[in-house]
Copies of this chain bind each other. A is one copy, B any other.
Amino acid sequence: MSTERKRARTQDQKHFRRQQILDAAEQHFTEVGYEGFSMANLAKLAGVVKGTLYLYFKTREEVFLTLYNQSLVRWSHVFLNQLQDAMTDQDYAKTLYTTALADGSFIPLLTRLEHVIEHNVSIDSLIQSKRNFIERVDCIAQATAPVLGLSEAQSLELVKTMGVLLVGAARADQGPPLQGEDIPADVQGLIDSFSSEPIFIKNACRIISGIRAEHSA
């Protein structure tokens, strides 16, 4: 906090200030979530005034998109580190799922990416974000191929598909907290049956098997 009371004049100082805001944003996001996030509170937390935020980000969604980009990179490093020389399909799926969920921001931002965040963002930011995504996917696919015994092409398709499945499965965890509410047994049963981890893992395995089988012909 005491490190920066001064004005950011050089490009380096501006990058540093921008990252300070992003760090505050990450903290604010994990504390209050997407709907509770406000630029006014972010400003307070970052120790600047609201107008200053708009010198560094054109819109609130530009902040979110940047947080998303960073969280994708962060998660991909964690995931790549956990890959072993040879893993069962199930271990692979479980590792992917667990590491993704362990990052507090990644899934909540990913599930809002297309239908909210990308709609209030400059084309340039969007292109930059997509490029970052391509790079991470390629990198993960390259590491995945030998682990699961797939071709590069198969591996690329798999990784892309895992993203789709992850978003679909993670939905279940995004519902409202129901602690202490009395939920009828039938409804509780439904919620339990959509528990995201087994759904993700089971279907990830089915999809891996499917992809592996398709080109053995």
Q: Report A's interface with B, CB cutoff 8 A.
A: 34-35, 108, 111-116, 118-119, 121, 123, 126-127, 130-131, 133-134, 160-161, 163-169, 171-172, 174-176, 178, 181, 183-184, 186-187, 190-191, 193-194, 199, 203, 205-207, 209-211
Pairs across A and B, CB under 8 Å, 30 listed: A35-B116, A35-B119, A111-B115, A112-B115, A114-B172, A114-B174, A114-B175, A115-B175, A119-B175, A123-B181, A123-B183, A127-B183, A127-B184, A130-B190, A134-B187, A134-B190, A160-B193, A161-B199, A163-B168, A164-B168, A164-B203, A166-B168, A168-B168, A203-B210, A205-B210, A206-B207, A206-B210, A207-B207, A207-B210, A209-B210
Closest 6 CB pairs of A and B: A206-B210, A168-B168, A115-B174, A164-B168, A114-B174, A114-B175
Q: Say what secondary structure dominates the interface of chain A.
A: helix
Stoichiometry, as copies per complex, reads: 2
The reply to whether A206 and B211 contact each other, CB–CB distance below 8 Å, is: yes
CA distance A184 to B108 in the complex (A): 28
Closest Cβ–Cβ distance, residue A94 to chain B (whole Å): 17
Inter-chain contacts of A112 with B (CB < 8 A): 115
Contact of A171 among B114, B134, B176, B186 (CB under 8 A): B114
> Knowing A115-B34, A164-B171, A168-B165 touch, does A176 contact B126 (C-beta < 8 A)?
yes
